[in-house]
Amino acid sequence: MKDQLLELEKRGNDEISAINDPSDLEPFRIKYLGKKGALTSLMKSLGKLSREERPEAGKLANQIKVNLSRRFQEVKTSIEAGKSGGATSVDVTLPGRVPLYGHLHPITQVIKEVCLIFSRMGFRVVKGPNVELDYYNFEALNLPKDHPARDMQDTFYISENVVLRTHTSPIQVRVMETRQPPVSVIAPGKVYRRDSDVSHTPMFHQVEGLLVDRDVSFGELKGTLTRFIHQMFGSDTRLRFRPSFFPFTEPSAEVDIQCVMCGGKGCRTCSRTGWLEILGSGMVDPEVYGFVDYDPDVYSGFAFGMGIERIAMLKYGIDDIQLFFKNDMRFLSQF
Q: In the complex, which residues of this chain contact ligand PHE (CB under 6 A)?
A: 167, 169, 246, 249, 280-282, 303-305
Q: Which is nearer to ligand PHE, 12 or 280 (CB)?
A: 280
Interior angle at CA 33, CA 29 and CA 36, nearest 5? 105
CA dihedral 3, 4, 5, 10 (to 10 degrees): 90
Minimum distance between the CB of residue 305 and ligand PHE, rounded to whole angstroms? 3
The Cα-based distances of 141 to 21, 27, 70, 150, 202 in angstroms read: 79, 89, 79, 11, 22
Cα 72 to chain centroid distance, Å, stands at 47
Beta carbons within 8 Å of 8's beta carbon, 6+ residues apart = 32, 38, 39, 42, 64
Q: Which is nearer to ligand PHE, 206 or 258 (CB)?
A: 206
Minimum distance between the CB of residue 230 and ligand PHE, rounded to whole angstroms? 20
- For the chain, the maximum distance between any two Cα atoms, rounded to a whole number of angstroms, is 118
Q: Which is nearer to ligand PHE, 5 or 283 (CB)?
A: 283
Q: How many C-beta neighbours within 10 Å does residue 330 have?
A: 8
Q: How many C-beta neighbours within 10 Å does residue 172 have?
A: 29
Alpha-helical regions (H) of 81-105: none
Minimum distance between the CB of residue 216 and ligand PHE, rounded to whole angstroms? 14
Residue nearest to ligand PHE (CB): 305
Minimum distance between the CB of residue 331 and ligand PHE, rounded to whole angstroms? 26
What 3-state class would DSSP assign to 55?
A: helix
Minimum distance between the CB of residue 335 and ligand PHE, rounded to whole angstroms? 25
The single-letter code of the amino acid at 159 is S
Minimum distance between the CB of residue 109 and ligand PHE, rounded to whole angstroms? 22
Q: Which is nearer to ligand PHE, 28 or 168 (CB)?
A: 168
Q: Which is nearer to ligand PHE, 57 or 308 (CB)?
A: 308
What 3-state class would DSSP assign to 1?
A: coil
What 3-state class would DSSP assign to 252?
A: strand
Q: Which is nearer to ligand PHE, 32 or 246 (CB)?
A: 246
Is 250 within 8 Å of 301 (Cβ atoms)? no
Q: Which is nearer to ligand PHE, 163 or 303 (CB)?
A: 303
Minimum distance between the CB of residue 253 and ligand PHE, rounded to whole angstroms? 9
